[in-house]
Amino acid sequence: MKHTGIIQGFVHQYDNPVQYRLKLDGEAILANEWIGKTIRISTLGRMKCIYCGRSIKKTYNNGYCYPCFTKLPENDLCIVKPHECHCHLGTCRDPEWGEAHCMIPHYVYLALSSGVKVGLTRKNNEKKRWVDQGAIRAIPIAEVPTRKIAGELEVYLTQYVADKTDWRKMLKGEVELVDLLELREEIYNYFLEEYKPYILKEDEWMDFAYPILEQIQKVKAYNLDKQPVIEDRLIGIKGQYFIFENGVLNVRKYCGYEVEVSE
């Protein structure tokens, strides 16, 4: 069976294991069914902006054309540096978008993906965030009223906890197990007074299992710009990656590319 369309990323169903669907244009194909099979992914030489649909020769920030990259609020620098959010100053690229995405409750959390990390996400978006990062366990430690405050707390906590994931270790399943509840209590000791009202005391974390037949031993990244056809046995999906026997493909990186996927 063949599927053709513009890659628009993964959508998830939070089962055990996570159910992944690959979005190609308007179609969402259950990708878990491909695991264990040899899959062929071919680029068709065309790209389109995932927002406005215009034909382009190069993508920016995982699938956008240059005008959308420079004008849309979701592509502003403060998205990757939340502590620099400027929505409250009235200078957001789209104030309505900022009110809906930034001036709302956010979680600061601890997650295990390669090692323990601190991060942030909009409240009610946490499952997607954690799965996109390949976390096997995560727990919110604070609920704050805005994205900016969440970013400021995250930056402050990087004195004590890393804020990056080693994607190679994550894909190989090399996770350093940590007691998140114990670590959370330790981290609370470092909270400044201004952050203490936001502390969460829930004792339940979330665990995630991924559809993986076997662990990859050596991580080599496939590059669709250099290798327009990939044909390999799919052995798993984790985070934003297809895991093949001989390499991995970061699906998000190639959003906007028109491809044909066949079994």
What does the domain layout of the chain look like in residue ranges?
A: 2-71+212-262, 74-103, 104-207
- The pLDDT of residue 147 is above 90: yes
pLDDT of residue 241: 98
Per-residue model confidence as pLDDT tens digits over 202-251: 788 999 999 999 999 899 999 999 999 999 999 999 999 999 999 999 99
Per-residue model confidence as pLDDT tens digits over 39-98: 999 999 999 999 999 999 999 999 999 999 999 999 999 999 999 999 999 999 999 999
pLDDT of residue 1: 86
pLDDT of residue 133: 96
pLDDT of residue 204: 85
> Region 12-33: what's the mean pLDDT?
96
Q: Residue 129 and residue 110: Cα distance in Å, rounded?
A: 12
Look at the block and give the residue holding tokens 């009223």: 145
Per-residue model confidence as pLDDT tens digits over 104-142: 999 999 999 999 999 999 999 999 999 999 999 999 999
Per-residue model confidence as pLDDT tens digits over 160-191: 999 999 999 999 999 888 999 999 999 999 99
pLDDT of residue 24: 97
Residue 12's pLDDT band, with cuts at 50, 70 and 90, is very high
Q: Residue 219 and residue 244: Cα distance in Å, rounded?
A: 10
Q: Residue 76 and residue 59: Cα distance in Å, rounded?
A: 16
- The pLDDT of residue 196 is above 90: yes
Please state which of the ranges 94-108, 149-163, 192-206 shows the lowest mean pLDDT. Answer: 192-206
pLDDT of residue 26: 82
